[in-house]
């Protein structure tokens, strides 16, 4: 009979401790990777942007942008809008794209008349899929302005939706910008 040295066979209790340490090390590594990925996706936004030059004053653009009840009359992208455009207010919007209608309730981050309207919408607790939407109105001189509609998307799900956002959402920004130009022209005539 061959006798193994004592160091070759570990008692059951030591084997259990070793396995537990290895499992904890693997779990800690996975948590560290998840935390790093979450941090990375929340500090590197994916941005969509579309601009249009308008024959309008900043006040005219602002008036159309903030007339939320009229969105259903002209806006092909945000087809329903309710709420008050003021800091920290919650808006009730319905976005329309190729996938259908999506209701969401963003919080207004900036409402500076004739200059900027900005809100943030979140899916979940705020690090899964967030979109900070911005309308920037820049005077170009005379009665012309540039309206830039943009959105910074952050969150752990964004890398999986970049293509869809570019394909479905960016054309809607452009369509809304053109519809806003037509709405301003129509209001000037009436």
Give me 166's structure tokens. 């570019």
Domain 46-189 = CATH 3.30.530.20:
yes
pTM: 0.82
pLDDT of amino acid 22: 87
Question: Which of helix, strand or coil describes residue 125?
Answer: coil
The model's confidence at residue 19, banded by pLDDT at 50, 70 and 90, is: confident
Rounded to whole angstroms, the Cα distance separating 79 from 93 reads: 8
Rounded to whole angstroms, the Cα distance separating 111 from 117 reads: 5
Contact partners, residue 24, CB within 8 Å, separation at least 6: none
164 neighbors 153 (Cβ within 8 angstroms): no
pLDDT tens sequence across 108-153 = 999 999 999 999 999 888 788 899 999 999 999 989 999 999 999 9
pLDDT of 50 strictly over 90? yes
């Amino acid at each position: 009979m061959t006798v193994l040295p004592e160091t070759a066979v570990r008692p059951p209790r030591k084997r259990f401790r070793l396995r537990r340490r290895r499992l904890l090390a693997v779990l800690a590594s996975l948590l560290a990777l998840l935390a790093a990925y979450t941090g990375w996706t929340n500090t590197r936004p994916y941005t969509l942007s579309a601009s249009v030059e308008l024959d309008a004053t900043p006040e005219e653009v602002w008036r159309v942008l903030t007339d939320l009840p009229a969105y259903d009359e002209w806006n092909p992208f945000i087809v329903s809008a309710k709420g008050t455009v003021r800091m920290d207010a919650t808006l009730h919007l319905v976005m329309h794209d190729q996938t259908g209608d999506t209701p969401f309730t963003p919080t207004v981050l900036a409402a500076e008349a004739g200059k900027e309207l900005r809100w943030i919408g979140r899916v979940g607790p705020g690090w899964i899929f967030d979109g900070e939407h911005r309308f920037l109105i820049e005077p170009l001189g005379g009665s012309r302005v540039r309206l830039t509609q943009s959105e910074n998307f952050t969150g752990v799900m964004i890398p999986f939706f970049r293509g869809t956002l570019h394909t479905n959402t960016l054309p809607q920004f452009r369509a809304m910008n053109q519809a806003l130009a037509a709405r301003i022209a129509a209001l000037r005539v009436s």
